Amino acid sequence: MKVAILMGSSSDTAKMAPARETLERFGLAVDERVLSAHRNPAAVAELAAGARDAGYVALICGAGMAAHLAGVCAAHTTLPVVGVPLSGGALNGVDALYATVQMPKGIPVATVAIDGALNAALLVVQMLAISDAGLAAALTEDRRQRAEG
């Protein structure tokens, strides 16, 4: 199973690292890319539209400020899209939160907290664990370890 992690800028790499690390810890393949919904709209649309055929199971999109990346992806795929609003700018991520969460009816984007890349990855793993007993067991163990830590 392969998950795409997209981010609007290379400066977002550190904030999105917990998503990659978490997915890899659960044995999922990760394709991490920098694609801006504003600077590379055609490339974003192409990747999202072909994501299912390319073997992806979900997309995690991190972006700050206007944060249209997750919405553009969701508009072009029926795969789950999880948006991670990233901190920065004058409103320290609140603008990105509103841009990510306020999607029109029929084009859902699951949205986590500002800088919530870890939770985005765990949400994807939980969705996949619905039909994967191995991932479900690994999630149970992960929760146990977090409770002890």
How many Å apart are CA 32 and CA 28, to the nearest integer? 12
Number of independent structural domains in the chain: 1
* Digit-coded pLDDT (tens) for 102-149: 999 999 999 999 999 999 999 999 999 999 999 999 999 999 999 998
Q: Are 18 and 117 in contact (CB under 8 A)?
A: yes
Task: Write down the pTM of the prediction.
Answer: 0.96
pLDDT band at 89 (very low <50, low <70, confident <90, very high): confident
The CATH number assigned to the domain holding 76 equals: 3.40.50.1970
Examine the pLDDT at 14 and tell me if it is beyond 90: yes
- Could you tell me the residue range of the domain that residue 124 belongs to? 2-148
* DSSP output for the chain: -EEEEEESSGGGHHHHHHHHHHHHHTT-EEEEEE--TTTSHHHHHHHHHTTTTTTEEEEEEEEETT--HHHHHHHT-SS-EEEEEE--TTTTTHHHHHHHH-PPTT---EE--TT-HHHHHHHHHHHHHTS-HHHHHHHHHHHHHHHH-
